[in-house]
Amino acid sequence: MTSGPEIAARIAEPTDAGLLTVTVDDWRRRWRDRVIDQAREHDDPWALPLVVRVERADPPTHEAAVHAAALSVVALLTRPEAAPVGYAPEGAAATDPDETGAGPWHAALARWSEGWIRKVVRRARASRWQEIAALPGATASVAGAEVRALVPHPVVDPPPALARLQISGLDLPKQAAAEPYPQPDGSSSILTIVTAPELSLTTGKACAQVGHAAQLALLQLDRETVLRWATDGHPLRVAEATAEQWQRLLDAPSGVALVQDGGFTEVAPGTRTCAASFGPLD
């Protein structure tokens, strides 16, 4: 498994472990129990926007952007604003609606997560980025890259500031491959996301795919490890798998979250693009 130069990707630790647990458990339950309404998805699809900050004078690298994209998605899903109905922090009055009601982002995130988890990647700079930074969402900053995940919306009705941004064509410079990352020992809370070998993705497409992988790890992998990972600030790394590692991940009976693309852009429908795991790859 090779990567760009070592990137430490982590967000600030949450301040309320109880709220974090309730929120993660709610998303996991919803994912486990969901039944997709295909007609609704066709007529009224929703998407989660990812916006990459690309200033003309100092653009980020591809590697830093994909790390930040993955972090921004799980940060959005685990912020207090995403919490479900019914959680009261210790010492809060049970009748206080501001303490026991759902977070302001929860309804939109729930509606989006009931269908296909579409993510649409755009880029912004200067004043356009400032407009995006003012919208509800979570920003992850990694090695000079900033990516903001915004609250989902109907595909046909994006916020005006978002609608002004370009979708296609985001392809940032890549760094030369470095030495392989050290392998997790199986008890680590560091999430490893790998892309399929020899799969050439633009930066925009890669950001969406690693965002899917981080989200599926949150939803599907071992609960206790996921909660420890989230409490630690979602530490992760993104790299390209070797052909042998990729096959082992595809064959693994458990402990791996696999991303299968819908085929809307760049790759054929059903292409497996990414995998996420807390365990060793070899």
pLDDT at 6 over 60: no
Q: Where are the domains of the chain?
A: 17-277
Task: Name residue 138's amino acid.
Answer: A
Residue where the block lists tokens 């200067």: 126
Between residues 134 and 168, which one has the greater pLDDT? Answer: 134
Q: Which amino acid would we find at residue 64?
A: A
Contacts of 173 (CB under 8 A, 6+ apart): 59, 61, 62
- pLDDT of 112 > 50? The answer is yes
Residue 74 pLDDT exceeds 70: yes
Mean pLDDT (the chain) is 86
Choice among 61-65, 114-118, 140-144, 180-184 with the minimum mean pLDDT: 180-184
The CATH number of domain 17-277 is 3.40.1490.10: yes
Say which residue, 67 or 93, is predicted with more confidence. Answer: 67
Q: What pLDDT, on the 0 to 100 scale, is given for residue 72? A: 96
Quick one: CA dihedral 37, 38, 39, 40, positive or negative?
positive
Under the banding of pLDDT at 50, 70 and 90, the label for residue 14 is: low
Average pLDDT over residues 71-94: 79
Q: How far is CA 131 from the centre of its chain?
A: 21
pLDDT of 152-203, one tens digit each? Answer: 999 999 999 999 998 878 989 887 554 434 444 455 589 999 999 988 889 9
